[in-house]
Amino acid sequence: MNAILHPLALKSAPGPAVAPTPSAPESASARLELIGLSCVRGTRRLFSNVDSVVQAGQLLRLQGANGAGKTSLLRTVCGLSAPDRGEVRWRGRSIAADRDAFHRDLIYLGHAAALKDDLSAIENMQAACMLGGQRPSPSQMMSALAVAGLRQREHLSARSLSQGQRRRVSLARLVLQPSPPLWVLDEPFNALDVAATDWLLSVVTAQLRAGGIVVLTSHQPVAIDASLSQVTLTL
């Protein structure tokens, strides 16, 4: 199925006062290009000829029915899965040319929170940061978890947290500084209540205002400020 690319009308959304303003993420040359991407799983073609260019300060929202290939496309964008055809370029170069440099510029949060039940919130965050190439101090992680609404829950085991709290443990990485310029988020609003949704919208807005790029899937409209650029890609 060919992808349909079109602008999405936006509405303003309030953000909590605790949302930090990310430092400029070296985004002057931030540019993500999807060029003729196609994906086949078994005998089924999930998507074909997906083309898009995302500039610094833009949000790309993927939408489509369950099974349309949204997660597969996100994994392709991150270099975790190879396309059957096509190429992903970052800063004008194929991501295959220097995967280490590309991954230093990237935060990828998958559909599941992927926490270890026996580890605390801060231990899970530390493990995720190490895998993602981030090296925050304990105080920075404590502050990030507090901003994410998890104050006094930093040392609780993940097993004892609600689904929304588990999601916020993963999302807390987004407020660490300096922030990588490219965020790829798979259904980040899942399991969040209204207050947490507003908080995440404010964090995404701050990243875009700093010149970063955000690519995400969401079953709901993403109500960032109308002055910011958002594009919807339908699979």
CA distance 207 to 15: 13
Give the residues across from 216 on adjacent strands: 61, 185
The percentage of residues in the chain with a pLDDT greater than 90, rounded to a whole number, is 74
CA distance 33 to 53: 5
Phi/psi of residue 46, nearest 5 degrees:
-80, -45
* Residue entry with tokens 């800063």: 91
What the block records as the tokens of 220 is 């709901």
Sequence-ordered alpha helix ranges (H) in the chain:
70-77, 99-104, 121-131, 138-147, 163-171, 194-209
What SS3 class is residue 159? helix
Q: Per-residue pLDDT tens for 156-166?
A: 999 999 999 99
Which pLDDT band, with edges at 50, 70 and 90, does 143 fall under? Answer: very high
- In the 8-state DSSP scheme, what is residue 2? B
What SS3 class is residue 13? coil
Q: Per-residue pLDDT tens for 174-204?
A: 999 989 999 999 999 999 999 999 999 999 9
Q: Which of 25-29, 52-56, 64-68, 131-135 has the highest mean pLDDT?
A: 52-56
